[in-house]
């Protein structure tokens, strides 16, 4: 019985301290630490951004996503910076499924090969090395 009480107390302490932090430190390849700060207050302005919605096309097509953010401000800042660095139009939408603001290229591609070529061009810039292709099946 003592073990159960001790375990419950330890679990409660870990649970309380684990939930209260809004920062996470990660060691980088060169041994230094990088700090990730997570939003502590949920952003409630999703109503002003279009909810993620794709055209109703009768074929499979491909969308290139260049970023996903927990806050609208970060998504807007990234989109604005990206517009000046890319020859493509970008858009911001809110993904209810993931509860994230996503930044995607406005153009949709009907050929996987064409989407991969565009994504590969993006990968040449460090800022867009995480760009990926989302397949929309119809």
pLDDT in tens, 75-105: 999 999 999 999 999 999 999 988 999 999 9
Domain co-membership, 132 together with 93:
yes
Domain co-membership, 90 together with 59:
yes
Check residue 137 and give its pLDDT. Answer: 86
Domain co-membership, 65 together with 132:
yes
* Digit-coded pLDDT (tens) for 35-63: 444 454 455 444 566 666 666 667 899 99
Domain count, the chain: 2
* Digit-coded pLDDT (tens) for 65-81: 999 999 999 999 999 99
Domain co-membership, 130 together with 75:
yes
- Residues with Cβ within 8 Å of 68's Cβ and at least 6 positions away in sequence, in order, are 75, 95, 98, 100, 101, 102, 103
Record the pTM.
Answer: 0.62
The domain in which residue 30 lies consists of 2-37
Domain co-membership, 114 together with 132:
yes
Domain co-membership, 73 together with 99:
yes
Domain co-membership, 69 together with 98:
yes
User: In the chain, how long is the greatest CA-to-CA distance?
Assistant: 67
């Amino acid at each position: 019985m003592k073990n159960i009480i001790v375990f419950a107390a330890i679990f409660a302490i870990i649970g309380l301290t684990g939930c209260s932090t809004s920062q996470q430190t990660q060691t980088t390849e060169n041994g230094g630490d990088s700090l990730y700060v997570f939003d502590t207050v949920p952003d409630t302005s999703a109503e002003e951004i279009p909810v993620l919605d794709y055209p109703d096309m009768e074929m499979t097509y491909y969308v290139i996503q260049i970023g996903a953010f927990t806050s609208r401000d970060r998504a807007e800042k990234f989109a604005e910076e990206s517009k000046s660095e890319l020859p493509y139009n970008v858009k911001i939408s809110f993904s209810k499924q993931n509860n994230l603001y996503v930044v995607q290229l406005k153009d949709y591609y009907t050929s996987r090969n064409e989407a991969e070529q565009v994504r590969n061009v993006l990968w040449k810039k460090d800022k867009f090395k995480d760009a990926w292709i989302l397949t929309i099946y119809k």
